[in-house]
Amino acid sequence: MTMFTIDLLKGNGIPLRSDPRRAALRAVPFLLPIFLVLGLVGEILCNRTLLITGQDNVQRMQAQITKARQDVAAYEETLRTIQETRHRLREVARALDRHTQWSEVLATLASELPGEIAIRELELKRSATRKKASDKANPEKLVTRIQVRRVLEITLYGPPSGRTDQAVEQYLDRLGASPVVAPMIEKIRIASRYEEDIDSQRSAVYKVECLCKSQES
């Protein structure tokens, strides 16, 4: 039996049988760049994800810092409000205390008054000066203190006679010895004496000055 071989490749020879291993080896040079590109893309995407995550963390931290600053500012503002409120309460307490003291003083002025004289007018003059002084709680710290001086002027009158003069002197002695007035008064004196008509009658008028002890706030 005669065998014929037909060369369809026209002289190029009969092709070798297909070998999967050889095909894979031949494909390696083409696949390596693809794998490298895919690896680079994956790394870029990973780095981008890490960058985005880092930015989110930074933004969250900045938000927390901002909130903490706001909380600290609110806390400091609350402390200032509390301090101001306490200061005002102390001022109110001192004012009430001074009001109670002056009410007692006025009552004493009336009760100690001799029958020969009468009170024509009362006037309380007040002056304030500022000065620097060491803080009691912190001696190294200087604070501004207000020193208040008060002068109580009492205008008395009565018949122009020696007896009236003696009554005025006795009145001032009583005030100087009073347990209500004495602690508040630094000095008491007759500033002036003159005569004028009061209610169509000639009267002796006495201007009495009571220098009160200074107070600091």
Three-state SS letters, the chain: CCCCCCCCCCCCCCCCCCCHHHHHHHHHHHHHHHHHHHHHHHHHHHHHHHHHHHHHHHHHHHHHHHHHHHHHHHHHHHHHHHHHHHHHHHHHHHHHHHHHHHHHHHHHHHHCCCCCCEEEEEEEEEEEEEEEEECCCCCCCEEEEEEEEEEEEEEEEECCCHHHHHHHHHHHHHHHHCCCCCCCEEEEEEEEEEEEEECCEEEEEEEEEEEECCEEC
Q: Tell me: the pLDDT tens digits for 106-136?
A: 888 888 999 889 999 888 888 878 777 677 7
Residue 201 placed within a domain: yes
| Confidence band, pLDDT 50/70/90 cuts, at residue 4 | very low
Residue 3 placed within a domain: no
Residue 177 placed within a domain: yes
Q: Per the structure, how many domains does the chain have?
A: 2
Residue 130 placed within a domain: yes
> Which domain, by its residues, includes 94?
26-111
Q: Tell me: the pLDDT tens digits for 70-111?
A: 766 766 666 666 566 566 555 555 654 555 577 888 888 888
Residue 8 placed within a domain: no
User: Do 92 and 128 fall within a single domain?
Assistant: no
User: Do 126 and 88 fall within a single domain?
Assistant: no
